[in-house]
């Protein structure tokens, strides 16, 4: 079974995001970038399925500028077999990404596509669902457990009411939740081996997919700083402040 995993290069989760002075967007200068945490879980799950003998090949895909290759090499160091870099200088948004992935899925013909449920930069949580609709494939979102069987998969989803178990035929699409697994660290030998693994470059234009953004960012600003708390002497005073100042009821 071939598994295709999508990954995105984002600002590292431990870094405090800075807004540009003119409010036009996020300041990326000198900022540490890394593999999106949910995508890292997706890569780890594909590797575990290969270790179980369920997967035969793991292909990782990223869309963006040349710096994405660094993130793809990181995924190769974790255990992926080969990588595909779709080059574009345009801002990538969920629908455009889903259309690119549809073309690649039709070319690569994987039995399973694994995506992180969302990227921590835009938190859209849309690409997996859109790809499922474009391909007309079954999907399991927010997956916290994945079991691959002969011609189907069984997933446990985290939903508002608890856990939901679904069986679905292959090929299928899965988006990963935090509790699916704990990603491993890349070892030095694997980091060196990753430099020799195949990384294919494709121009987004050659795929005949329009990646022109449909959404425009008008202004970005940091959230207002929280005011210092105050001590109250009585419950009545607390209720009065909650009602008149905090407007909670």
What pLDDT is stored for residue 174 in this prediction? 96
> Whole-model pTM?
0.86
Express as a percent the part of the chain with pLDDT over 70.
100
> Read out DSSP for the chain?
-EEEEE--EEE-TTSPP-B-TTSSSB--TT--EEE-HHHHHHHHHHHHHHHTTS-SEEEEEEEESTTHHHHHHHHHHHT-SEEEEEE--SPP-HHHHHHHHHHHHHHH--SEEEEES--TTT----HHHHHHHHHT--EEEEEEEEEE-SSEEEEEEEETTEEEEEEEESSEEEEE-GGG--PPPPPHHHHHHHTTS-EEEEEGGGGT-----S-------PPPPPPPP---SSHHHHHHHHHHTS---
- Backbone phi and psi for residue 223, each to the nearest 5 degrees, phi listed first: -65, 150
Whether the CB-CB separation of 85 and 199 falls below 8 Å is answered with yes
What pLDDT is stored for residue 27 in this prediction? 87
Whether the pLDDT of residue 249 is over 80: the answer is: no
Domain count, the chain: 1
Q: Band of the pLDDT at 217, cuts 50, 70, 90?
A: confident
Whether the pLDDT of residue 150 is over 90: the answer is: no
Dihedral sign (CA 68, 74, 78, 80): positive
Is residue 249 situated within a structural domain?
Answer: no
Q: Band of the pLDDT at 21, cuts 50, 70, 90?
A: confident
Q: What is the mean pLDDT of residues 38-61?
A: 96
Q: What is the mean pLDDT of residues 145-157?
A: 94
Q: Band of the pLDDT at 242, cuts 50, 70, 90?
A: confident
**Average pLDDT along the chain:** 92
What pLDDT is stored for residue 155 in this prediction? 96
Q: What does the pLDDT look like over 56-92, one tens digit per residue?
A: 999 999 999 999 999 999 999 999 999 999 999 888 9
Q: What does the pLDDT look like over 112-133, one tens digit per residue?
A: 999 999 999 989 999 999 999 9
Residue tagged 């207002």 (tokens): 224
Q: What is the CATH number of the domain that holds 51?
A: 3.40.50.620
Domain of residue 70: give its range: 2-244
């Amino acid at each position: 079974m071939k598994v295709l995993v999508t990954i995105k290069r984002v600002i590292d989760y431990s870094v405090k995001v800075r807004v540009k002075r003119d409010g036009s967007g996020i300041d990326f200068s000198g900022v540490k970038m890394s593999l999106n945490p949910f995508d890292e879980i997706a890569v780890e799950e594909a590797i575990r399925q290969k270790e179980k003998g369920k997967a035969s090949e793991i292909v990782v895909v990223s869309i963006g500028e040349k710096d994405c290759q660094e993130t793809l090499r990181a995924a190769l160091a974790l255990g992926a077999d080969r990588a595909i870099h779709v080059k574009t200088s345009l801002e990538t948004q969920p629908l455009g990404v889903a259309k690119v992935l549809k073309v690649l899925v039709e070319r690569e013909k994987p039995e399973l596509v694994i995506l992180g449920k969302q990227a921590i930069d835009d938190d859209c949580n849309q690409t997996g669902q859109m790809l499922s609709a474009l391909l007309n494939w079954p999907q399991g979102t927010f997956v916290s457990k994945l079991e691959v069987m002969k011609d189907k998969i069984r997933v446990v989803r985290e939903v508002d009411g608890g856990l939901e178990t679904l069986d679905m035929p292959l090929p299928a699409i899965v988006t990963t939740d935090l509790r699916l697994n704990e990603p491993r660290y890349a070892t030095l030998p694997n980091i060196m081996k990753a430099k020799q693994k195949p990384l294919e470059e494709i121009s987004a234009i050659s795929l005949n997919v329009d990646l022109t953004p449909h959404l425009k960012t008008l202004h970005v600003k940091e959230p207002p700083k929280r005011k210092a708390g105050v001590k109250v002497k009585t419950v009545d005073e607390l209720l009065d402040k909650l009602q008149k100042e905090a407007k909670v009821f």
